[in-house]
Chain A
Amino acid sequence: MDIKDFIAPFAVWKRAFEKPFTVKKPIDERPGAPRYRGFHINDADKCVGCGTCEAICMNRAIDLVPVEGRDAKEGDSGLRPRVDYGRCCWCALCVDICPSGSLNMSNEYVWIDSDPDVFRYTPGVEPKPWDGSALGYRRAEGYRLLDGTRVPMPELDHHEAVKSFLELVRGWSREQAEKEADRCVSCGLCIASCPAHMEIPGYIKAVRDGDLETGLRLLYQTNPFPEACGRICTHRCEEACSIGTDGDPVAIRWLKRYIADQVELADYSKALPRKEASSGKRVAIVGAGPGGLSAAYYLALLGHEVTVHEKDEAAGGMLRYGIPEYRLPYPALDKDIGYIESLGVKIERGAPVGEGRSLASLRERFDAVFLSTGLPAAYGLDVPGEKHPRVLDGVAVLAAATRGQVLGLGARVAVVGGGNVAMDAARTALRNGASVDILYRRREEDMPADPDEIREAKAEGARLVEKAIPLEVKDAGGKARFVWNEATMVQKEAGKRPVPEPIPGAIHEEIYDSVISAIGQGPELSYIAEADGVEIRRFKPVVDRDGLATAAGKAPVFAGGDLVNDRKDAISAIADGHRAASAIDRLLSGKGA
């Protein structure tokens, strides 16, 4: 102890004349730091109500609530997160994980009220002074809790692919599939968009858990064509995927394929439900496409005896005759169909309904009939010269390829159309060594075909000619001289898609060995007689919600698939088949319609 120990403490007095450390509220403002984790803000238009914020919140501070003026729609539940600040701990994991990036935080931290219940609100819906705040916590660049990048799918090199009909998409290994399945947040926004409302989060979880038998069981609950749909489905689910709001959507279709590929057909019966005891009822199905066989599967499962009448020599419909084998190899399709047949479904191949086997006779012999004859008749080009021998029908070309017939398309091929049939025909022609032009009335972005198919067709060497309106097909020494008029896109009505208008004088022509017309197909309804009581309107049987087409009479007639619905894809046909099967079962078992 020395004298300094008595004097030094008085040094504190020197601070009496310094500026104090305190902030003079409210004279001096003290805003939160730019990264401050303050009250939530949410871009309610960007938010899709997936509830991932709620799932990660360890305090259960978030509820998903309906908000006025926002109903559910595809890819949006219409719900929005409501934050209870009695529980929120401001950790911002909800911001970190938000798939769309709509949920953020402002840097505002002062909010005083005597009513405790106001500290619970729906950001972005109930206006607050800090809405739209530019400052506050955001996910740092390069930092995400979720993975926005899809696991790459191994595919054949395009130069290789075009040399054969080998399957282009090779499928995932277990590690790849589990990694992709891990990206899913199980929000379930996808289910509504799937025509069959498949239990998508459930089977993706099964992939993650490595429990493929559960996965297969979930697939078959709503879809007996997992091998086919796992390859060629139009995957509307992926458009609804919340991960896709700011990244690649989860590859739901490939995960479905992974499950079906991994389980051997011999093991299916272990995973899938047994069929119920025989009901003694008999159901006839016309057309062994995805719709008809889906109905057959669910009816057989319910104990009914099912006979399918198929005009072609093999079952599968468009899946077999319309989709080339490099997209859907026949063994994969045969696996789906094989399992359906293993339940005792009888498929009579090469047995068209019509003359000699009328619909009326089916209604006599069976307790119910389901029509799923699809759209087998291709539309013509509807221009002068459309009957030229070198003008071919796209669906017929694809069917011939399936049958292994020599196509004889020649060296220069034009494909007219922008749908999947056009792409498939073009790529089939490429695989036959032709050089291919795809001519389409509108622009590439207007094409109804799957973007992957367009991309692949181009990668394989097809040339795309956009805005080409067919005018005429002339003969050029046995070849076809295809004449078209170049168009410009005109916005005629606001809010509607622009229409192609011919540019006067911009006429082009080219000589082709073959011109494949793939501009759409129509139904073949001649087998339905007026006496059958099936009302036809605009070339479609008129059906109710369950697919019932007859009001009264003998055995009820149902219809579904491309024949009836507007979506015209396999998964919609499968959904129709399932729905009709349930309705038929209710009728036959007397449970009421």
Chain B
Amino acid sequence: MRRQNEHVIPPETRATPDLSSGKYLVMWQGPQHPGITGNMSLRLVADGDTVVDCETHVGYLHRGFEKLMERRLWMQNFPLVCRIAVPEPDFNEYCYAAALEELAGVTVPEKAVWLRTLSLEMIRLASFLMWIGGQAGAFGHGTIAQWSVTMRDYVLDLFEELSGGRIYHMYIIPGGVRGDVPDGFLDHVLETMQVIKKNLDDIELVMFHNAVFKMRAVGLGYIPPDWVDKYGITGPNARSAGVARDLRKDLGYLAYPQLDFKLITGGRSDAFERAELRLAEMYQSIDLIRQIVARMPKDGPFRERLPNPLHWKIPAGETYVAAECTRGEYGFYVVSDGGDKPRRVAVRGPSYTHAVSVMERLVRGVNIADVAGLMVSLHTYPPEIER
């Protein structure tokens, strides 16, 4: 039995249970699982109610995007990439656009830089709101999920107003963005931030001062700091392990160098602290959004004119553009052979390691009932694994 504040490091090698012994139970969790981990499945081997071995299985959301992109014009891929990580489409849009702009030698207007930053922070908040509902729900606290998903919808309302789409915004287009903010939009942003902040205060009270959540999350899924490089862990999962890395600081892209924010790190590195850290980053996002609204240029062009999208060719070359999404390093590796279509686009999503290698190891020794909570505490999105 796991105890609070006890750092159990699961074994590195897989157990080899004798399945014919009758001692073990093989069970599948997923792919239809209500833990908001998306569609992937875990093949668990349990000894009693303790997991001794786990194999992840992905592929339920594979849509062949990387192949599809090689058959489409550079600009035609712009509406395609957002689907790779459904709750956070904007990071795909940004990385794809920024990679193309870098290869084509295009500089984006100042206004677009700020609008892109605004969209990325808004979607960070929305994605965290969805995640916190999942995290609470995985431990039986469905009420919080109802609140937070509503709050997420309020952010989606803002996106709808800004871009015309709720889920797939298709706003960050190569060259800039697709439009300036509508009249009154920034006021709506500030009003919504007020509402969400108040709601976060409520969530903080009932979720983080909650005996059940503490009992189940504290000590669950401890990630030692030396795993961070070993497994390529990034984002809140790494910061909670005390590794101070945030691409918003490290790469200094978009308007982040001009914004005032501090890296949030932890050290206890368990499911509870990762949740606390994400909650703190939600407050930080609200603060960043307010800063952006206050400091964004009021006027100016929002898109650099590019060649005709039907004939646009990008000089041969390759690049890797990354950004800090809610879960860590999100990146696009783009190769051009000088033609009108990409030679290769490869997407790096943090779940690629968090949901597979890290999850498979962390789950060893965990109670079956905690598997969903553990998985959500890693904040994983299967579609970015399979693309």
Task: Determine whether A and B are in direct contact in the complex, meaning some CB atoms lie less than 8 angstroms apart.
Answer: yes
Q: Is there contact, CB below 8 Å, between B161 and A33?
A: yes
The A interface, classified by DSSP as helix, strand, loop or mixed, is: loop
Chain B CB within 8 A of A92 CB = yes
Q: Is there contact, CB below 8 Å, between A21 and B150?
A: yes
Q: Is there contact, CB below 8 Å, between B179 and A186?
A: no
Chain B positions within 8 Å of A185 at CB level: 308, 310
Specify the chain B residue showing the minimal Cβ separation from A5: B211
Specify the chain B residue showing the minimal Cβ separation from A95: B164
Given A11-B205, A58-B77, A58-B80, also A32-B308 (CB < 8 A): no
Q: Is there contact, CB below 8 Å, between B170 and A143?
A: no
Chain A CB within 8 A of B178 CB = yes
Chain B CB within 8 A of A4 CB = yes
Residue among A12, A97, A147 with most chain B CB within 10 A: A12
Q: Is there contact, CB below 8 Å, between A146 and B214?
A: no
Q: Is there contact, CB below 8 Å, between A146 and B164?
A: no
Chain B positions within 8 Å of A186 at CB level: 310
A interface footprint on B238-255 (CB within 8 Å = 1, 0 otherwise): 000000000000000000
Chain A positions within 8 Å of B77 at CB level: 58
| Chain A interface category by residue count | 35 or more
Chain A CB within 8 A of B76 CB = yes
Interface residues of A in 1-30 (CB under 8 A from B): 1, 4-6, 8-9, 11-12, 15, 21
| Chain B interface category by residue count | 35 or more
The complex places the Cα of A9 from the Cα of B211 at a distance, in Å, of 9
The complex places the Cα of A182 from the Cα of B306 at a distance, in Å, of 10
Chain A positions within 8 Å of B180 at CB level: 140, 142
Given A1-B214, A9-B206, A89-B168, also A182-B311 (CB < 8 A): yes
Q: Is there contact, CB below 8 Å, between A1 and B179?
A: no
Chain B CB within 8 A of A35 CB = yes
The complex places the Cα of A97 from the Cα of B79 at a distance, in Å, of 14
Specify the chain A residue showing the minimal Cβ separation from B300: A142
Chain A CB within 8 A of B237 CB = no
The complex places the Cα of A467 from the Cα of B170 at a distance, in Å, of 56
The complex places the Cα of A379 from the Cα of B186 at a distance, in Å, of 70
The complex places the Cα of A140 from the Cα of B301 at a distance, in Å, of 11
Q: Is there contact, CB below 8 Å, between A37 and B165?
A: yes
Specify the chain A residue showing the minimal Cβ separation from B72: A58
Chain B positions within 8 Å of A90 at CB level: 165, 168
Residue among B150, B202, B305, B308 with most chain A CB within 10 A: B308
Chain A positions within 8 Å of B202 at CB level: 11-12, 15
A-side interface residues toward B, CB under 8 Å? 1, 4-6, 8-9, 11-12, 15, 21, 32-37, 52, 55-56, 58, 89-93, 96-97, 105, 136-137, 140, 142-147, 182-186, 208
22 CB contacts below 8 A, A to B, read: A5-B211, A5-B214, A8-B206, A11-B202, A12-B143, A12-B206, A21-B153, A35-B161, A35-B164, A35-B179, A36-B160, A56-B73, A58-B73, A91-B78, A92-B170, A143-B179, A143-B302, A145-B306, A145-B309, A147-B308, A184-B308, A185-B310
What are the nearest 5 A-B pairs in CB distance?
Answer: A91-B79, A140-B179, A58-B76, A8-B209, A37-B164
